[in-house]
Structure 1
Amino acid sequence: MAKLVINDSKELGRIEPEIYGHFSEHLGRCIYEGLFVGENSDIPNVNGMRQDVVNALKEIQIPVLRWPGGCFADEYHWKDGIGEKSKRKKMINTHWGGVVEDNSFGTHEFFELCKQLGCKTYINGNLGSGTVQEMSEWVEYMTFDGVSPMAELREKNGHKKPWKVDYFGVGNENWGCGGNMTPEFYANMYRRYQTYVRDYDSKKPIKKVCCGANVDDYYWTKGVMETCYDHTPEHLHGFMDFISLHYYVHPEGWEIKGSATDFTEEVWYKTLKKALFMDTLIKRHSDIIDQYDPEKKIGLSVDEWGTWFTCEPGTNPGFLYQQNTVRDALVVGITLNIFNKHCDRVKMACIAQMVNVLQAVILTEGEKMIKTPTYHVFHMYRHHQGATLLDSELSGVNEVGEGEWKVPDITESVSKKDGIITITLNNLSATEKRDLEILFATDKNYEVVEANIVTNKDMHAYNTFENPEVVKEEEFNLYEIDKNKMTVSLPACSVVEIRVK
């Protein structure tokens, strides 16, 4: 039997709520149809935001939302998306599907959405094809409270008071779609552009996100950190608050990717093995960042992550619409446990993407909406937001799978908030249940206050608009507790949450 020892008197750090962030790009049906339907839609909405989706997202306590991209960010010119909607410029979305972008969702609409969600704002600026002046004026438009051309323009467009920009990304994927730059060239551009991302209100500083690496490009991380660190103050804090990392799970590789719903047991394990690679990426990139920032003042922002499969048959391949199975639930459970355990460096993350794109938490079809298995895991894990990571040690774990795709059959993380300990567990086995003994180091009586599970006997199971609750969060009762000891039986391919006090 596997054993988990929890030392609830040893606190390891704060799990920032922003680790549970989300990403919305002008891509496919994420913004349009997914989040925004317009004020004149028959679908119930408030100021154009569809209320079924907004209400569902509020239930998982969205902490931060990243927008407008993604690759779209480095071809986005913000002035095209303000003012009277009928007069806004139309453009072809050359990155995603070749469809017309009418800019009816712009800066004002984004802040309205975040207001309705009650979340922080993460704006990604255009460094790839935009100017320093354009980026500087956007920040002024959004945040300056005084007499200036951009503040006057904002008031003319119906919003007198400035908004709060919590995070600002200076470019996106500038090693690729954001300009195919070298790390040294980008870093010097970052130094220049970030200078003009000004804090007009010192009480509401904007935290700046530097473009980090794609997957295991450690050369990029080293080059950017070294160039940014040169001739800067002793610490980069304020000059660079975050550096990003992007990593997608492609079980069959970048070119093939593989089906979201039709896969073998071997591919199940291959997918989970690649999800576990996130741990290695965080460790190795952190080792490089530590050379320049040993005090860990710079946060790692994994602001694009998740599964990326072949799009669903019959859909626009540029829309990246994919279904979401129990396998996706395990990927998100594994990944969030990893983020929790690296909360000393990982301070923000944004799953890609929020609605109708890649590993979405919600899918829509006209007026219909369904919650995916990924959604239900986020709902369970919301209790980790703002909690304190506890010391935990897992032993007696078996390996499952074959050859190079073997994985541990259990992963976990444990946190404490408001006197309640939240334990999240994953059984990675596609076929076998797993028994686990949990021992609390503190000798006292514990009781379970809540326990839930996301699973299905069929690893291919997913929700449809006809059958929206095939995979859902359900009450979990396969445990026994006696004082400071608990035994748990984890069903195959399951994500479990147990909360005790």
Structure 2
Amino acid sequence: MGANTTTIIADSRLGGQRWDRMIFGHFIEHFHTQIYGGLYEPGSPLADDRGFRTDVIEAMRELKAPVMRWPGGNYVSDHHWYEAVGPNRIPSYNKAWRVPEPNTFGTDEFIAWCKAVGCEPYICTNGGNGTAEEMSNWVEYCNGRYDTRYALQRQQNGNRKPFGVTYWGIGNESYGDWQIGAKTVAEWGPYVAESAKMMRAVDEDIILSAAAVPDTEWTLALLRAAGRYLDLISIHGYWDHTHQVNEPKDYLTCMMRAEEPGQMIERTRHVIGAAGFTDKVKIAFDEWNLRGWHHPDGTGQDKIDARDLNDLPETYTMADALFSASFLNACLRNANVVTMANVAPSVNTRGPIFAHRDGLVKRTTFHAMKLYVDHVRELMVPTDVAGPRLQHGARSVATVDAVVSKDGTGSTITLVNRDPVAAAECRIILDGQVLTGAWSAIILDGDSPDAFNSIDKPDAVAPRSVTMKDAAGSYSIPPHALCMLQIPA
């Protein structure tokens, strides 16, 4: 084999790691058109009698969404849940996003929407200008089984049975000065501990996360103060920063960031271990996307209207699809510590689903995620990947990224060729045997690395089924492609 061949060695005889389907989770926020005009659009011919877009629900079902995090995000640092329940809702002004909030989509609607999709609700509480009491009252509203104040309020609002919300988060990026009510290192740990204590006093069985970062200063202090109450720490990652200026980075620049999610996971794993919580506290990577959201500072209408630039279809290319694949590979490879990840967001802005007035577009990332949901098997097999690196300027990443999964019916070899123009030659060794022969595969690629889907061309990028046959023990993976190679048992 030549120097340009990547060798993938996977050996199930060394064991396997079960992974949590919550890794394929989702996130939605009260930002721009994610909720209003996205998944919720009363009066639309595409909506049901509750105002839920049925085409969006069907697309979420296609992705087999296991969990949805809501309502934020930055939004939640100025969200008070009690303003968005019951029959008499008054619009509020959300200081985090600097826009009016009608409060017509609140807790009851969110729970009903999750039931329609078939996913678990994950509620992130207000760790900004909210209080521990407000958080615990929200748990009582959702999960309270006695005839007490907030549980009775839920019943009066038409929901006699408790919602049974399992997943809860304390705060969102509370370390950042962009959050309403941001906290210092010294403040955060005790605040989380008190909030968690009160929430668990209402329902001891909830699974609880708190906002963290992959460094020792913030997260070590958090875990020392509150780790005994937590199941998860929440970390976030966006790698193409477009907050102020909407200039999405080119394909190769994006690919150079593709190994960074794994590095963030390793740093966070180290902090959890240093705090003495290995095997007790796991990672929820509960906001992730290649591209950050565009929302320039300011309250002027021009600044708010600039958020429409998030909808430009040409932004979401094979770079987004392959970065997403690389991210999911990193989570699966570290499934003993990462038990949830939530693409941010699911609908509109930078999400895999673009819902417009007349229908929806499945972006390149939708197809990438669906391939993982449909084809990754229950055990991750120990896998080594060795091969050439893709260079761009002073940086480089592995040209091919790969994970291998297995169940009783066979194996899936997941291959990502990041090279924009050249096919990748891959030699695959499974359980000590060089793989040869012809096998079924599904490939996601485009006519260029900058290919994208749009209203006019919704299927410019779509998966295709092929038969792959080796040439002298090597399989050729097309450029800028995600490949799921299926090997029956």
Q: Same fold (TM over 0.5)?
A: yes
Shift of 1:285: 1.7
1:388 aligns with 2:379: yes
Residue 2 (str. 1) matches residue 6 (str. 2)? yes
- Measured against aligned partners, the alpha-carbon deviations of 1:396-426 in whole angstroms (never above 9, x if no partner) come to x111223322221000111123433222111
For 2:282 and 2:473, locate their aligned partners in 1 and report how far apart those are by CA, in whole Å: 35
SS of 2:38's equivalent? coil
Aligned mate of 2:407, from 402, 406, 417: 417
Confirm or deny: 8 A CA contact 1:24 1:31 kept in the other structure.
yes
Following superposition, the deviation at residue 321 of structure 1 comes to 3.6
How far the C-alpha of 1:28 sits from its partner, in A, is: 0.7
Which secondary structure does the structure 1 equivalent of 2:474 belong to? strand
**Residues 354 and 404 of structure 1, relative CA distance in 2, 3 Å threshold:** same
Secondary structure, counterpart of 2:61 in structure 1: helix
Report which stretch shifted further, 444-453 or 189-198: 444-453
Change (3 A) 1:46 1:381: farther
Distance, in Å, in 1 between the alignment partners of 2:482 and 2:342 is 20
Q: Which moved more, 1:299-308 or 1:402-411?
A: 402-411
- CA distance in 2 between partners of 1:11 and 1:179 (Å): 46
Q: Is the 8 A contact 2:81 2:138 kept in 1?
A: yes
How far apart, in 2, do the equivalents of 1:42 and 1:489 lie?
A: 46
Q: Which residue of 1 aligns with 2:366?
A: 375
How far apart in 2 are the matches of 1:465 and 1:207?
40
Contact 2:38 2:348 in 1 (8 A): yes
Contact 1:132 1:193 in 2 (8 A): yes
Matched, 1:307 2:287: no
The equivalent position to 1:317 in structure 2, one of 297, 303, 306, is: 306
Aligned to 2:484: 497
Amino acid at match of 1:382: V
Aligned to 1:329: 321
1:142-162 alpha-carbon deviations (Å, 9 max, x no partner): 001222111211111001000
1:15, 1:385 within 8 Å by CA — same for their partners in 2? no
Equivalent of 1:250 in 240, 257, 280: 240
CA contact 1:35–1:53 (8 Å) conserved in 2? yes
Gaps of 5+ in 1: 230-235
Deviations 1:28-80 (A, max 9, x none): 11111111112x43224252211111111101110110000001111111111
Q: 1:100 to 1:486 in 2, by over 3 A?
A: farther
Tell me the amino acid that sits aligned with residue 185 of structure 2. P
Q: How far did 1:258 drift? A: 2.3
Letter in 1 for 2:149: P
Alignment partner of 2:66 out of 52, 59, 63: 63
Partner of 1:476: helix, strand, or coil?
strand
Q: Deviations over 1:108-130 (max 9, x none)?
A: 11111110111111100112111
Shift of 1:476: 3.1
Q: CA deviation at 1:220?
A: 1.5
Alignment map for 1:172-321 (pairs within 5 Å): 172-176=172-176, 177-198=179-200, 205-213=205-213, 217-228=215-226, 236=228, 239-250=229-240, 255-256=244-245, 258-259=247-248, 267-293=250-276, 295-308=278-291, 311=294, 316-318=305-307, 320-321=310-311
- Whichever residue aligns with residue 154 of structure 2, its letter is R
Which region of structure 1 is more displaced relative to structure 2, 54-63 or 286-295? Answer: 286-295
Corresponding residue for residue 125 of structure 1 = 125
Secondary structure of 2:370's aligned partner: helix
Is 451-460 or 441-450 further displaced after alignment? 441-450
Structure 2 Cα separation of the partners of residues 113 and 447 of structure 1: 46
Once the two structures are TM-superposed, the CA of residue 382 in structure 1 deviates from its matched residue by 0.7
Q: Give the C-alpha shift of residue 217 in structure 1.
A: 4.2
Q: Secondary structure at the match of 1:9?
A: helix
TM-score normalized by the length of structure 1: 0.88
1:255 Cα shift? Answer: 4.9
Q: Distance in 2 between matches of 1:386 and 1:30?
A: 31
Who is 1:357 aligned against? 349
Query: Is residue 73–residue 172 contact of structure 1 (8 Å, CA) maintained in 2?
Result: yes
Q: Indicate whether 1:487 and 2:461 are aligned.
A: no
Q: Secondary structure at the match of 1:32?
A: coil
User: Secondary structure at the residue paired with 1:159?
Assistant: coil
Local SS of the residue matching 2:199: coil
Q: 1:497 to 1:293 in 2, by over 3 A?
A: farther
Secondary structure (helix, strand or coil) at the match of 1:52 reads helix
Asked if residue 72 in structure 1 is aligned to residue 68 in structure 2, the reply is no
Aligned partner of 2:379: which letter?
T
**1:370 Cα deviation from its structure 2 partner:** 0.7
Report the secondary structure of 2:124's partner residue: strand
Q: Deviations over 1:336-392 (max 9, x none)?
A: 00111011111111111011112x110021022110100001100014667211111
Q: Give me the whole-angstrom Cα distance separating, in 2, the residues matched to 1:491 and 1:209.
A: 40
Distance 2:341 2:293 in 1: 23
Say which is worse superposed, 192-201 or 315-324, in terms of deviation.
315-324
Q: How many angstroms apart in 2 are the aligned matches of 1:410 and 1:255?
A: 33
In 1, the alpha carbon distance for the partners of 2:339 and 2:22 equals: 7
TM-score normalised per structure 2: 0.90
1:199, distance to aligned residue in structure 2 (A): 6.3
Aligned residues: 473
Percentage of identical aligned residues: 27
Deviation at 1:446, TM superposition (A): 9.1
Give the whole-Å Cα distance in 2 for the aligned partners of 1:5 and 1:490: 17
- Superposition RMSD in Å: 2.5
Residue 166 (structure 1) aligned with residue 152 (structure 2): no
Residue in 2 aligned with 1:431?
421
Matched position secondary structure for 2:76: helix
CA gap of 1:498–1:156, structure 2 versus 1, over 3 A, is: same
Q: Is the 8 A contact 1:257 1:308 kept in 2?
A: no
Does the 8 Å contact 1:142/1:165 carry over to 2? yes
Corresponding residue number in structure 2 for 1:41: 44
One-letter identity of the residue aligned with 2:55: D
For residues 44 and 449 of structure 1, the distance between their equivalents in structure 2, rounded to whole angstroms, comes to 42
Partner of 1:440: 430
Aligned residue for 2:16, secondary structure, equals strand
> In 1, Cα distance between the equivalents of 2:437 and 2:151?
55
